[in-house]
């Protein structure tokens, strides 16, 4: 029996936003939401009429107040995960070029995290296979 056949497919676009030190921005899901307290990549549901890139440009501004453009979003990988109520399909992009400093505009906590430390931040189960992909992409940190 296919575990996803009777579940709606939810398309969510997510972004590994990098700073100049190659740290990745994680956002903590606020109290009151499903999976509260877990750390995730900024992003959100792809709305009708949007491409995933449109969604990210919109969400990055709404959630973090930063401005980026579609050519600055590089596809990296995707998550495909069966939650109880839906099957999540989540393209993950990398973005290094944006204007402004991310600020939490939706009550979430933000944290810049080195790739080697991603496992210290509990994440939604869909995100776990993405961690080694990001770690492979980024050079090891050699600073102090």
Ligand X SMILES: Nc1nc2c([nH]c(=O)n2[C@@H]2O[C@H](COP(=O)(O)OP(=O)(O)OP(=O)(O)O)[C@@H](O)[C@H]2O)c(=O)[nH]1
Q: What minimum distance in Å lies between the beta carbon of 26 and ligand X?
A: 8
Mapped onto helix, strand or coil, the DSSP state of residue 31 is: coil
Q: What distance, in Å, lies between the first and last C-alpha atoms of the chain?
A: 51
**For residue 134, how far is the Cα from the chain centroid?**
11
**For residue 126, how far is the Cα from the chain centroid?**
11
Q: Which C-beta is closer to ligand X: that of 24 or that of 143?
A: 24
Q: What minimum distance in Å lies between the beta carbon of 5 and ligand X?
A: 20
Q: Which C-beta is closer to ligand X: that of 43 or that of 102?
A: 43
Cα–Cα distance list, 112 to 39, 68, 116 (Å): 11, 18, 12
Q: Which C-beta is closer to ligand X: that of 35 or that of 110?
A: 35
Residue numbers of the site for ligand X (CB under 6 A)? 12, 14, 33-35, 40-41, 43-45, 88, 124, 126-127
Q: What minimum distance in Å lies between the beta carbon of 52 and ligand X?
A: 12
Q: What minimum distance in Å lies between the beta carbon of 13 and ligand X?
A: 8
Alpha helix (H) ranges present in the chain?
52-64, 130-137
Q: Which C-beta is closer to ligand X: that of 40 or that of 53?
A: 40
């Amino acid at each position: 029996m296919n575990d996803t056949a009777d579940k709606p497919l939810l398309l969510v676009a997510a972004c590994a936003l990098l700073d100049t030190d190659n740290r990745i921005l994680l956002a903590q899901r606020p109290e009151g939401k499903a999976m509260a307290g877990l750390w995730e990549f900024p992003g959100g549901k792809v709305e009708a009429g949007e491409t995933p890139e449109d969604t990210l440009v919109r969400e990055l501004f709404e959630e973090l107040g930063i401005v980026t453009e579609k050519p600055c979003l590089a596809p990296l990988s995707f998550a495909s995960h069966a939650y109880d109520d839906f099957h999540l399909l989540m393209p993950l992009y990398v973005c290094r070029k944006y204007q402004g400093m991310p600020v939490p505009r939706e009550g979430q906590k933000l944290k810049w995290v080195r790739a080697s430390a991603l496992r210290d931040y509990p994440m939604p189960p869909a995100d776990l296979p993405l961690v080694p992909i990001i770690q492979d992409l980024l050079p090891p940190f050699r600073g102090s």
